[in-house]
Amino acid sequence: MPIARLVRRSVLLLSGVALLAGCAQGVSSPPPSSPRGESGHPVTLDNCGRTVEIAAAPRRAVSLNQGTTEILLSLGLADRMVGTATWTDPLPEALATAGAAVPRLADDTPSFEKVLAAEPDFVAASFASTLGKGGVATRERFEDLGVPTYLSPADCTGKDNSGDGDGVRTAPLTLETVYGEIRDLARVFGVEERGERLVSDLRARVEEATSGVDASGVTLLYWFANSEAPYMAGCCGAPGVITRALGAENVFDDSREEWPQVNWETVADRDPDVLVIGDLTRRSQTAESAEKKIEFLESHPVTRTMDAVRNKRYVLLGGQAMNPTVRTVEGVEKVAAALRAYGLAE
């Protein structure tokens, strides 16, 4: 049975004809394009401990996290996408027009039924939690319906997601893992040359941003979200990539948790030179925007006396720059520029 018909039958069984009709009316599909480079198919990938087989270049892909969405858009694949979900930031200007043509299934985590209603032939996600229990659905549920799935290697390579929280890094993340994801997805869609061009461009940007920068002795703190029990970056995720590229030090380098929750007394005690602040537009935690974070820092009795707060040494980054994505490169650029502006990097 063709995949589209199999998925459509499954939606009917799961949700009923009425639900399917309601979802279908809310999703418009971009016109299909002719898959390019299909001579390279079928494609078989070893992805996060699973063997994934893609018989033909996808024409109806769904990306369940903004990170994978931005890779697909950067590869020029908007016309092969029928849905995106789970957003923290607006798209960068260069991707905004292409992204506007892709239906947004949900700002946060969509239901399994909503995703199936888009009749996907490929599903990608940035986080294991998205394709696991408590997320959209497990990879097995999609694959049982003939829909191959892909998980960003950055969330499984050198990382243990078995406990609570956002996982623990067993080895530091590098941008090579992100570049590997780009190449994987380019291969899946038969656009390998685009993938290589994108990787080359990102490498060149990192080289330019870090050329001549020596921030040794400079301490940084990365605050993603939440003011009551703030999520601060540990040593070895995307913020670690930024920190190591600049030769600086993260004040929570002693934690291998991806985003440990730290009390403010400990933050103040470590007194970093610069605060790298997540500027998010989502509304799932307290103090999401940079404005709210800075307002908190400058009014709270424990944090307002910190050196970085008194001297307003802030760097504002979108959430995607603080996650393992193509925009981690943007994080390197912005932090490097800020350290130069503050006179903290040679």
pLDDT top residue among 32 and 310: 310
- Identify whether the C-beta of residue 3 lies closer than 8 Å to the C-beta of residue 118: no
- Other CB atoms within a 10 A radius of the CB of residue 56 amount to 14
Chosen CATH of 3-203 out of 3.20.20.70, 3.40.50.720, 3.90.600.10, 3.40.50.1980:
3.40.50.1980
188: phi then psi, degrees, rounded to nearest 5 = -55, -40
pLDDT value at residue 131 = 97
Q: What distance lies between CA 332 and its chain's CA centroid?
A: 15
pLDDT top residue among 13 and 54: 54
Residue 102 pLDDT more than 70? Answer: yes
Task: Calculate what percentage of the chain has a pLDDT beyond 90.
Answer: 85
Q: Compute the distance between CA of residue 299 and CA of residue 307 in angstroms, rounded to an integer.
A: 14
pLDDT in tens, 207-230: 999 999 999 999 999 999 999 999
CA nearest to 26, candidates 82, 100, 77: 82
342 by Cβ neighbours in 10 Å (0-12 / 13-18 / 19+) ranks as middle
- Identify whether the C-beta of residue 274 lies closer than 8 Å to the C-beta of residue 308: yes
pLDDT in tens, 47-86: 999 999 999 999 999 999 999 999 999 999 999 999 999 9
pLDDT value at residue 266 = 97
In the chain, CATH 3.40.50.1980 covers 3-203, 213-341
If pLDDT is split at 50, 70 and 90, which confidence band does 39 have?
Answer: low
| pTM for the whole structure | 0.88
Read off the amino acid at residue 171.
Answer: A
pLDDT value at residue 321 = 97
Half-sphere exposure of 330 (CA within 13 A, CB side): 18
Q: Compute the distance between CA of residue 31 and CA of residue 48 in angstroms, rounded to an integer.
A: 32
pLDDT in tens, 279-298: 999 888 889 999 999 999 99
- Identify whether the C-beta of residue 168 lies closer than 8 Å to the C-beta of residue 160: yes
pLDDT top residue among 12 and 265: 265
145: phi then psi, degrees, rounded to nearest 5 = -95, 5
Q: What distance lies between CA 1 and its chain's CA centroid?
A: 34
pLDDT top residue among 121 and 24: 121
pLDDT value at residue 5 = 41
Q: Which CATH class is domain 213-341?
A: alpha beta
End-to-end CA, the chain: 62
pLDDT value at residue 346 = 77
pLDDT in tens, 133-152: 999 999 999 999 999 999 99
Six token digits for residue 140 = 């097995």
CA nearest to 77, candidates 219, 180, 185: 185
pLDDT in tens, 156-197: 999 999 988 899 999 999 999 999 999 999 999 999 999 999
Averaged pLDDT for residues 98-113: 96
Q: What distance lies between CA 78 and its chain's CA centroid?
A: 17
